Amino acid sequence: MNKDINPITELAHLQASAKDANHQISSPWAPATNGVGSGGGRGMFNTQGGTAETGSGLGSHWDVKDISPSLETLLHVTDNVTKGVMDMGVLVSTMNQAGLSITEQKILLQHLGSSAILDGYNAAGNLGYRQGADVLERLARGETVTQGEWLQVMDKNNLDPKERLSHMLAFQVVQKAQRTEMFAQALMQLDTQEQSNPFERVKPMEEDVAYFKGKFPELTSSKVAILIGINTYPFPVPSLGTAINDISAIGDQLTTAGYQAIELKDAKYDDIVDMFQYLAKKVKPGQDVIIYFAGHGYLREETGIGYWIPSDVDVTSSEKWISTKHISEYLSKISASHIMVISDSCYSGSLTREYTYSTDGDTLSPEEMSKRRAVMALSSGGEEPVMDGGGDGHSVFARHLLSSLAKGNRLRTGFDLFHEVRSEVVKEAPQTPQYGAMISAGHQVGGDYLFTSQ
């Protein structure tokens, strides 16, 4: 930012001018059309508009209603930034003093882009922020850097909770740009080649029986939990720090609630596909199934389709990316009475888009709900990166999910669980868990997943 500009003074001046003229300040940017998606953290890879390098342009994802006069003003001010002299500490303070929401801060930081954010931390007057620049530079080079590591550096600056969230958002923008560049060839392939549903591939009957018999255990409980956690990815995809720890702890908690927990650690593409096919062959009506995924993911905003990224992914190919659309379609072949898919990956909110669940209006009794097929999706965030780490050895989402599950074997709905977890997650991380139903998987309106005592 030009050193002669005080952003707080400029903000107040421009807001007063706009008020006197009885109009809002016109936006200094035009929507970009060349973005390819969204990417980041325990999660998704893509851009929001403009180039991966600069992030300029905001794309059509952000609606006009997201733009307040304060955000318009800061967009105007930051458009006059001289590269290399913006102080990110000052900008973060300004955003919060101006009352920008998390959504508005995302817009502003994505508008700035990865390079300007890096320069802003390097130019910060605060030594602690300049040390943070070293972490971001490693991230931009493609090294494995977790948000937990970033927070260890930033927390030395005695940040208040709002500023802490803002610095986390800055980390995510840099992360997104790096991942977009890393997966550029795979993204291009998605544009040119139509994906077939991997779950529909057919094996000879005799091969099916022999293969599945040795690979997965017999299902012996009326309640089954499939827990997929991936820490290790091939270079240059950054590995994750807590996914396997998360599924092990959640598996233990669900076991105490009467579930048969089956863990797939560092699952490959074939492992995930085979497990879904196994469930379709073995699960019967009257059984309940939870499928939990913790790993990298991706969202293409043009289509609204999300992807799970298995451990044997190739950055040059999208062949092994598993789309949430295909997951939803194939769940219709799993005969369970109640299914819940829980996805702890960035931009995993795409799973909940078909039907947003609400308790508004008349709600059914638990007995009535139990008679309706329910296929629900609980995501650790919406259309944003989510934290891998930051939860005492777990992701923030997993830690609060564990805390909620540990409150005893009592009758409650999936929506109740979601509400408890969301209310805690949003206090600590710039991510908002989502909950919805998958109509294409055979969900019956009015139903919900039921957690019952043993």
pLDDT digits (tens, 9 = 90+) for 158-172: 888 889 889 989 998
Which band of pLDDT confidence, cut at 50, 70 and 90, is reported for residue 2?
A: very low
User: What pLDDT does residue 61 have?
Assistant: 43
Q: What is the pLDDT of residue 62?
A: 43
Residue 435 vs residue 10, higher pLDDT: 435
Look at residue 388 in the predicted model and tell me its pLDDT.
52
Q: What is the mean pLDDT of residues 330-351?
A: 84
Say which residue, 249 or 387, is predicted with more confidence: 249
pLDDT of residue 287: 95
Percent pLDDT > 70 in the chain is: 74
pLDDT greater at residue 378 or residue 445: 378
Would you say residue 56 has pLDDT above 50? Answer: no
Q: Please give the Cα distance from 354 to 377 (Å, whole number).
A: 10
Q: Give the separation between CA 350 and CA 384, rounded to whole angstroms.
A: 11
Least confident span in 57-71, 123-137, 359-373:
57-71
User: Which amino acid is present at 282?
Assistant: K
Distance (Å, rounded) from C-alpha 265 to C-alpha 239? 13
Report how far apart, in Å, the C-alpha atoms of 235 and of each of 44, 135, 308, 313 are.
17, 19, 17, 10
* Per-position b or e across 142-176, b if 16+ CB within 10 A of its CB: eeebbbbbbbebbeebebeebbbbbbbbbbbbbbb
Tokens of 315: 């950055």
pLDDT digits over 77-122, tens only? 777 654 445 789 989 999 999 889 888 898 899 888 899 999 999 9
434-437 and 338-344 as β-strands: parallel, antiparallel, unpaired? Answer: unpaired
Binned at pLDDT 50, 70 and 90, residue 445 comes out as confident
Confidence of residue 354 (pLDDT cuts 50, 70, 90): low
- Give the helix/strand (H/E) hosting 300: strand 297-300
In this prediction, residue 50 carries a pLDDT of 34
Please check the confidence at residue 413 and state whether its pLDDT lies above 80.
yes
Q: What separation in angstroms does the CA of 349 have from each of 96, 179, 436? A: 26, 19, 9
Confidence of residue 203 (pLDDT cuts 50, 70, 90): low
For residue 77, what pLDDT is reported? 74
pLDDT over 90 percentage in the chain: 36
Q: Residue 297 forms beta bridges with which residues?
A: 308
Q: What is the mean pLDDT of residues 131-156?
A: 88
Q: Is the pLDDT of residue 251 over 80?
A: yes
What are the backbone angles phi and psi of residue 83, rounded to the nearest 5°? -55, 130
DSSP string, 400-418: HHHHHHTT-S--EEHHHHH
Q: What is the largest CA-CA distance in the chain?
A: 79
Domain edges within the chain: 7-30+47-182, 200-451
Give the gyration radius of the chain's Cα atoms: 23
The pLDDT value given to residue 132: 92
Select from 60, 162, 15, 176 the least CA-distant residue to 109.
176
The alpha carbon dihedral of 393, 394, 395, 399 has a sign of negative
pLDDT digits (tens, 9 = 90+) for 13-37: 444 443 443 333 333 222 333 333 4
The whole-number pLDDT of residue 73 equals: 80
Cα–Cα distance between 396 and 389 in angstroms, integer?
6
Average model confidence (pLDDT) across the chain: 78
pLDDT tens string 121-137: 998 888 989 999 999 99
Instruction: For residues 54-70, give the mean pLDDT.
Output: 50
Of 400, 401, 397, 377, the closest CA to residue 388 belongs to 397
Residue 149 has pLDDT above 90, yes or no: no
Consecutive H or E run containing 420: helix 414-428
CATH class as words, domain 200-451:
alpha beta
Rounded Cα–Cα distance for residues 180 and 80 (Å): 26
Per-residue pLDDT for 179 more than 90? no
Lowest mean pLDDT among 35-39, 364-368, 377-381: 35-39
Lowest mean pLDDT among 12-21, 49-58, 139-148, 229-238: 49-58
Contact present, 164 and 151 (Cβ < 8 Å): yes
CB 246 within 8 A of CB 393: no
pLDDT band with cut points at 50, 70 and 90 for residue 5: very low
In which band, very low, low, confident or very high, does the pLDDT at 357 lie, cut at 50, 70 and 90? Answer: low
Please classify residue 217 by burial: count the beta carbons closer than 10 Å to its beta carbon, then call 0-12 exposed, 13-18 middle and 19+ buried. Answer: exposed
β-pairing verdict for 223-229 and 288-294: parallel
What's the confidence (pLDDT) of residue 84? 44
